[in-house]
Amino acid sequence: MVASFDPFMLQLIFIGALVTLVNRLAGHFILVRFEPIPYRVEAALEAVPVAVMTTLVVPAALNGTWIEWVALATAAILSTRLPFVAAVIGALAVLLALRQAFG
């Protein structure tokens, strides 16, 4: 397989990187303007990881097989006792093991 150079794809990558950089810098400059961070802003910032994880989990839950459901249940159970990262790693290990065993 020979990959060909696509200038449009390179342009798309640079524009995406620039948009991401501008968003991150804008967020930094907005938060610097607040002396103490207001409660509502802090609550919104703490909700961002949950929103991102929801966008990753919902399609797997709706379109997945029993293997994905078992992994999601494992993540839910582990998250009651372990830190977030440990719960995700445990659920991922279960997902990979079940996919390896049952295809």
Say which residue, 41 or 66, is predicted with more confidence.
66
Taking alpha carbons only, the member of 44, 42, 91 closest to residue 68 is: 91
Distances (CA, A) of 69 to 5, 30, 97: 40, 40, 14
**For the whole prediction, is pTM greater than 0.75?**
no
Taking alpha carbons only, the member of 57, 55, 84, 80 closest to residue 69 is: 57
The residue-averaged pLDDT of 7-27 equals: 89
The residue-averaged pLDDT of 9-34 equals: 87
Kindly state the tokens that stand for 49: 């990881």
Taking alpha carbons only, the member of 66, 91, 68 closest to residue 79 is: 91
What is the per-residue pLDDT across 44-101, written as a single tens digit (0 to 9) for each? 877 777 778 788 888 888 888 999 999 999 999 998 999 989 998 999 999 999 999 9
- Rounded CA gap, 75 and 3, in Å? 39
Q: Where are the domains of the chain?
A: 7-102
